[in-house]
Amino acid sequence: MDAALGRLPGTVPLVQIAFFNALPPCKGHASPQEVRGAARVGVGSGASSRLSGFHSCVRDPSWQAPCLTTRSLLQGGPVEILPYLYLGSCSHSSDLQGLQACGITAVLNVSASCPNHFEGLFLYKSIPVEDNQMVDISAWFQEAIDLVKNSGGRVLVHCQAGISRSATICLAYLIQSRRVRLDEAFDFVKQRRGVISPNFSFMGQLLLLSCWDYRRVPLPLAQGKFLHGLFLCLF
């Protein structure tokens, strides 16, 4: 685990990292790897090193949907992020045989619409948020992290499709518990579930989580303060 989350080399200009929309090859654009390589013109700061590759993690909903298929969303079943942490979709959460095969003991439902199918069999916690740019999902980070830490078993984290909300929670857990950068956590999770793509706002909140001690200093995500907080975080 620690080796897989090793430090990534290279520096990237901060403005490009934070605000560049990296379009995927499925629409005929350069791959994130090509964009990342082209951007390595270096400002040499410690902040840019912390955030290398951030731009390649951000999605634009306008191009995401055509690239996905039902098969790619399901990917056979929930994926193991850590021996006690699984990531999946609403469909996975409704598959009792699949949950039992993975040894799931608790389910973290990161949606406002997916039902808790087996409340008599598993411990459930619901985070009723929508996948949109206005949601402050960071307000739920600590509760979600505590559930994973204290469940004593295996936790499935899911949302509707297992792409944005549940992936954000898994990334927050890795950032906080393993003390890794956002790009490191993102690459680690994406290797296991290739369709993850948190929305831009969620990525910004994860970025602040990785830069701020959010248990002591409130994340500046209130309306009108996000960019100010991001600026303070980066510089």
Establish whether 159 is a catalytic residue: yes
Q: Which of 90, 102, 114, 159 is catalytic?
A: 159
Rg, C-alpha atoms of the chain: 17
Using alpha carbons, list the distances in angstroms from residue 127 to 72, 138, 145: 25, 11, 12
For 170-180, b/e burial (b = at least 16 CB within 10 A) is bbbbbbbeeeb
**Dihedral sign, Cα of residue 163, residue 169, residue 173, residue 179:** positive
CB atoms within 10 A of CB 89: 25
Q: 203, exposed or middle or buried, with CB in 10 Å at 0-12, 13-18, 19+?
A: buried
- Which residues belong to the active site? 159
